[in-house]
Amino acid sequence: MTSYWCEQAWLNDAVADRVRVSLDNEGTIQHVEAGVEPARGDEALAGMVLPGFANAHSHAFHRALRGRTHASDSAGTGRAESTFWLWRERMYELAARLDPDAYLRLATATYAEMARAGYSCVGEFHYLHHDADGTPYDPPNAMADVLREAARRAGIRLTLIDACYLTGGIGEPLTGVQRRFGDGDADGWAARVDDLALDPNTRIGLAAHSVRAVPADQLATVAHAARDRPLHMHLSEQPAENTACLSHYGRSPTTLLAEHGLLGPSSTAVHATHLRPDDVRVLGESGTTACFCPTTERDLGDGIGPASALAEAGSPLALGSDQHAVIDPFEDARAVEMNERLASGQRGRFSPAQLVTAATAAGHASLGWPEAGRIRVGAPCDLVGISTHTVRTAGATAEQVMFAATAADIHTVVVNGRPVVAQGCHVLGDVGRLLTEAIEPLWGELR
């Protein structure tokens, strides 16, 4: 039996001193003891140890957009030209260029960056299903298989969230590169996702991309296909989505999704930014998780969603790095609190313990791994060791580490009992080099 001995660790929503965590050969925790000295053979972890983080919302290929969507205007005045539409144009250029080989390189490097940042599990909201002109691959889930392989190589668990994506907007057909995303109708999509198998590192979730991309008469098919599996959906990220939904269907996106059976304790609404009080109530009463992606939402200028109102209404809060402008779970977690401080003029909307739960246990539950995200018997042994004497963390209390640390302060990451990061180094080596080698060829002809 392997044992880790932690100087301090997060147990039962609080900090405990001198904790030994023992696990079996499958990587499952068998014993947890606090207040003990290290024994011979224990792997000692200095500083503060948190459970593994869950990245509840990822589009791996968007990592290639980081630092490429903030242009000055073409007239040379030096003014910014960084609209949402410039971002989307770049995203489509990129989506058109990815084949399975390029995607394997990019997703492996991106997931390695996540593991380096303390994520033990990622929920990949996957819609890059087919070849660039919409022709299915052989096998039809070749791109999903690429994501599984990337997660396995990077040492991170995967929930493959296969998204139904049928229209380019309400009442608009898919055009151009969007044809990669479509399966004709929800039945065609459901038949393809039926072939997605579990493996020890992968669980399957499903998604309705959004009310923009799935017509109302197709939503019930998506809900039925998901049954008790995780069901995710983008919700009310931009006011334009609400306006289009109201004018076409006469109801808000939240109401439309509720009417077709897409909300509930297995469901996760991603963003949930522009909600009416009624929407907040419906989401909370249904037990739907709200997945906030603050570093993406600020990058895209989406707005600040009602995180504490949703939590008070009954929605668990999860977190995702989404388009990966930043991959740092500390930054996303504290941004939820900091954004509310700015918007409300009040401090202390979320406690440090609530932010840890959002980043760990609630995120894993949203991704269909309810046993994970806590340091306790029966959970997979996912541990994140944080140095408490760096220039950022020195002097902070262990309880408040979420408000001080960054991903760069992590020295060790253990996923399912296996060390994936040791002394700050990922098992695949230099992750910056992997990212460079994956991303630069994609933009080579466009510079």
Supply the residues annotated as catalytic: 271, 322
* Burial (0-12, 13-18, 19+ Cβ within 10 Å), 197: exposed
Other Cβ atoms within 10 Å of 123 Cβ, number: 31
Residues 380 and 347: their CA atoms lie apart, in Å, by 34
Q: Which is nearer to Zn ion, 63 or 374 (CB)?
A: 63
Q: How far is the CB of 27 from Zn ion (least distance, A)?
A: 30
Give 69 or 412: the residue with its C-beta nearer to Zn ion. 69
Closer CB to Zn ion, 62 or 97, in the complex:
62
Minimum separation from the CB atom of position 296 to Zn ion (A): 7
**Residue placing its CB nearer to Zn ion in the complex, 233 or 413:** 233
Residues in the chain: 447
Record the tokens describing residue 342, joined without a space.
């700015």
Pick the closer one to Zn ion by CB: 322 or 332: 322
Closer residue to Zn ion (CB): 59 or 334: 59
Q: Which is nearer to Zn ion, 88 or 433 (CB)?
A: 88
Per CB under 5 A, which of residues 305..324 are in contact with Zn ion?
Answer: 322
Closest distance to Zn ion from the beta carbon of 186 (Å): 19
**Minimum CB–partner distance for residue 24 and Zn ion (Å):** 36
Q: Using CB under 5 A, which residues numbered 374 to 433 contact Zn ion?
A: none
Closest residue to Zn ion, Cβ-based?
A: 322
Contact of 358 with 94, CB cutoff 8 Å = no
| Angle subtended at Cα 113 by Cα 107 and Cα 117, rounded to the nearest 5 degrees | 140
- R_g of the chain computed on alpha carbons: 21
Longest CA–CA span in the chain (Å) reads: 68
For residues 322 to 361, the per-residue mask of contacts with Zn ion, x marking binding by CB under 5 A and - elsewhere, is x---------------------------------------
Question: With CB under 5 A, what is the number of residues at the site for Zn ion?
Answer: 1
Least CB distance from residue 284 to Zn ion, whole Å? Answer: 22
Preceding amide of 100 cis, omega within 30: no
Comparing CA positions, the residue from 108, 187, 122 lying closest to residue 438 is 108
Closest separation in Å from C-beta 292 to Zn ion? 12
CB of 412 to Zn ion, least distance (A): 30
Select 362 or 405, whichever has its Cβ closest to Zn ion.
Answer: 362
Least Å from the CB of residue 293 to Zn ion: 7
Applying CB under 5 A, the residues found at the interface with Zn ion are 322
